[in-house]
Structure 1
Amino acid sequence: MELTLNRIVKDKPYTLGKLLVDGKECCYTLEPKWRKRKAKKVPGRTAIPEGRYPVVITRSPKFKQWLPLLLHVPKFEGIRIHAGNTVEDTAGCILVGECQEPGILTDSCLWVEKLKQRIVEAKARGEGVWISINN
């Protein structure tokens, strides 16, 4: 299964994107501020670099639930896809949901559950799950 995150707004205090699953639009994403590749990483306040990363589902000690985890992200650890409504709800992870107002997501818990289900189904079929992040 291939997830694709296309970032569409990067010039604000947040980064807004659209998430596709196997080429079909799924939901919106929200991340911390995107910084140019050579810009200094700000811990907890920087969007992850573009690239392609494997995705697994593991139990999050912080959230006390099973959540998607991106592996091998350079200079980052513990990058998850989880619920949240504004950039203040993430310290570098990817939030998912519907976007009706700039910088605000709704129905985030619903979209996390839908995405988790699709990942679990793909893994049960023996498929690898990857996310490609494009600027």
Structure 2
Amino acid sequence: MAIHLKVIRIEQGKNSTLSEIYLNNQFICYGLEDIPREKKIPGSTSIPAGRYKLGFNRDGGMNGNYYDRFPKLHKGMIEIKNIPGFNYVYVHIGNTHKETAGCLLVGTGYVFEKGEYRLLQSVTAYKKLYALLVEMMVQGEVFIEVVE
């Protein structure tokens, strides 16, 4: 059975895009990205709609930071692979569009303030989603689908 993570975009702020994240059709958490743009601005553009493979990335400073922070949980950053024109796109912790760097943030809830979406309890959502994804990625291929 193909494992399927689905990101369904539901709202847009001035610089933020809010989504619901489902794993095999079960709601897991909310997601936050930058806004879509016609012309990509590195670190400030949402992931293009499409289907991508997830993989582990064990390089770089972010990987070391997460290993230090979650030594029993962390097996590598979960990277969304083969996005045309994008590199090093991760699922990670953060609350606002300023923390996305073009990646997908996760949270258990959200608020809308001053025209922007902000995630709540990002660490809680990350640990839950990360543990589920690692378990499945060890067993086989896992794909993410980003839907407008």
Q: Displacement of 1:110 after TM fit?
A: 1.7
Residues 85-128 of structure 1: per-residue CA shift (max 9 Å, x gap): 1111111000000223121111111211111111121133x221
Q: Displacement of 1:60 after TM fit?
A: 4.9
| Equivalent residues of 2:111, 2:119 under 8 A apart | yes
Tell me which residue corresponds to 2:36. Answer: 34
Once residues 26 and 16 of structure 2 are traced to their aligned partners in structure 1, the CA distance between those partners, rounded to angstroms, is: 24
C-alpha distance 7-121 of structure 1, shift in aligned 2 (>3 A):
same
Mark the runs of 5 or more structure 2 residues left unpaired by the alignment.
67-75
- Cα RMSD over matched residues? 1.3
Tell me which residue corresponds to 1:109. Answer: 123
Q: Displacement of 1:11 after TM fit?
A: 4.9
Give runs of aligned pairs for residues 55-66 of structure 1, distance below 5 A: 55-63=54-62, 64=64, 65=66, 66=76
Once residues 95 and 118 of structure 1 are traced to their aligned partners in structure 2, the CA distance between those partners, rounded to angstroms, is: 16
The AA in structure 2 aligned to 1:52 is R
Once residues 73 and 90 of structure 1 are traced to their aligned partners in structure 2, the CA distance between those partners, rounded to angstroms, is: 16
Once residues 16 and 5 of structure 1 are traced to their aligned partners in structure 2, the CA distance between those partners, rounded to angstroms, is: 10
Are 1:121 and 2:135 matched, yes or no?
Answer: yes
Once residues 42 and 57 of structure 2 are traced to their aligned partners in structure 1, the CA distance between those partners, rounded to angstroms, is: 22
Number of aligned pairs?
131
What SS does structure 2 have at the residue aligned with 1:62?
helix
Once residues 110 and 42 of structure 2 are traced to their aligned partners in structure 1, the CA distance between those partners, rounded to angstroms, is: 28
Q: Could you say which structure has the higher helix fraction?
A: 2
Once residues 20 and 52 of structure 1 are traced to their aligned partners in structure 2, the CA distance between those partners, rounded to angstroms, is: 14
